[in-house]
Chains A and B, each alone.
Chain A
Amino acid sequence: MRIILLALSCLLSQPALAANYSTLVPQQSSVTFVSTQMGVPVEGEFRKFNATITLDPDHPERGTARINIDLASIDTGNQEANEEVVKPLWFDAAAHPVASFTSTAVKPLGQGRYAAFGKLTIKGKTLDTQAVFNIEKQPGQLLLPGSFKLKRLDYAIGSGIWSDTSAVADEVQIRFRFVVAKP
């Protein structure tokens, strides 16, 4: 009897939990980036990543995110560049195959915009980062588009001859678009 009551109370409390969106819809999600080569913005993409996101649109500040990006899945749009950027001077993807972001706080910025603060680890180095994103409600799911900028040399991405920022700029914009559904 106690067990049935417990199960029932669990069921009844379910609506409160159900406000959380936490199942990533990978087909609709993307992680892209824009680098600047010889002053020209060039778009690229990471084809493989996973994101563990929990977000209640009524309480976004309680949201959490952990995002892992498979660096070897990079597509710069150019075969020669794809082969180059996994090498030790760039990502050193053999030694550090994954870049990860772990959120520490989410704060509203007004007008539907939010800042996610967190730790970004690439190539064995962890730095504080801040990404700005929107929350767009769609039937049964949330669309979370956002972006942040990083300085690649902070993480020694493209060292040696590539530290020449007149060819490839230091600043890289990362754009993400995560779609999460209710579990």
Chain B
Amino acid sequence: MPNRYTHTAISLHWLIALLIFAAFPLGVYMHDLPLSPDKLRLYSYHKWIGVTIFMLAIIRLVWRATHRPPPLPANMPKWERFAAESVHHLLYALLFLIPLSGWLMSSAKGFQTVWFGVLPLPDLLGKNKELGDLLQKVHELLNFSLLGLVLGHAGAALKHHFIRHDTILERMLPFLRRNS
């Protein structure tokens, strides 16, 4: 088994990461803007990016179900393996739960999500103000969990590269390939 993620896995990982680095600050920024046409526009862009992440996450999960990730180095302590795998599972879960909570929140607030203004997502919930406000809190909470996890996740990856000098980061990078 090659000790690297496939091109598909690497592309999906970084494409999704990039979109999250766009959707997250956009979400925080737009929320605080006074109501204006630009605010409406940014809300729509945020939702479109979020739904795109949701779709990519589905493809990614299919990839994951049909491929095994490269094995972790044999000398890695048990608790580290466990921590890494737990964080990965949680990140996968959030890749679905965050867009899902956003989609449901929009439905409950009476504002349907129409992907890129073209593809309407069905409203799974009826208009309900209390539920909409609750889902907004849920969306926010999930997002700040994501922030914490990604910081830990990226920190661990950097530690592997710069302190441990192992290949963990490289095998998820499209460049920096060392002969192994």
Contacts and interface: CB of A to CB of B under 8 A. Distances in A.
Interface of A: 37-43, 77-78, 80-81, 84, 161-162, 164, 166-168
Interface size class of B (residues with CB under 8 A): 10 to 19
Contacts of B114: 38-40
B51 to A, nearest CB: 13
Interface string B132-161: 000000000000000000000000000000
Contacts of B117: 38-40
Contacts of A162: 37
Contact of B110 (A43, A80, A164, A167): A43
Nearest to A43: B110
B101 to A, nearest CB: 18
B35 interface: yes
Contact of A42 (B111, B113, B129): B111
A84 B41 contact: no
A162 B36 CA distance: 7
B44 interface: yes
B110 A81 contact: no
A38 B40 contact: yes
B110 A40 contact: no
A168 B111 contact: no
Given A38-B117, A39-B117, A77-B127, A161 B37 contact: yes
A167 B127 contact: no
Interface of B: 35-38, 40-41, 43-44, 109-114, 117, 127, 129
Given A43-B110, A77-B127, A78-B109, A84 B35 contact: yes
Contacts of B43: 38
A80 B132 CA distance: 14
Contact of B111 (A37, A84, A161): A37
A80 B127 contact: no
Contacts of A38: 40-41, 43-44, 114, 117
B69 to A, nearest CB: 39
A113 B162 CA distance: 76
B37 A77 contact: no
A39 B113 CA distance: 10
Given A38-B117, A81-B35, A168 B40 contact: yes
Contacts of A41: 112
Nearest to A37: B40
21 contacts: A37-B111, A38-B40, A38-B41, A38-B43, A39-B114, A40-B111, A40-B112, A40-B114, A40-B117, A42-B111, A43-B127, A77-B109, A77-B110, A78-B109, A80-B35, A161-B37, A162-B37, A166-B37, A167-B37, A167-B40, A168-B40
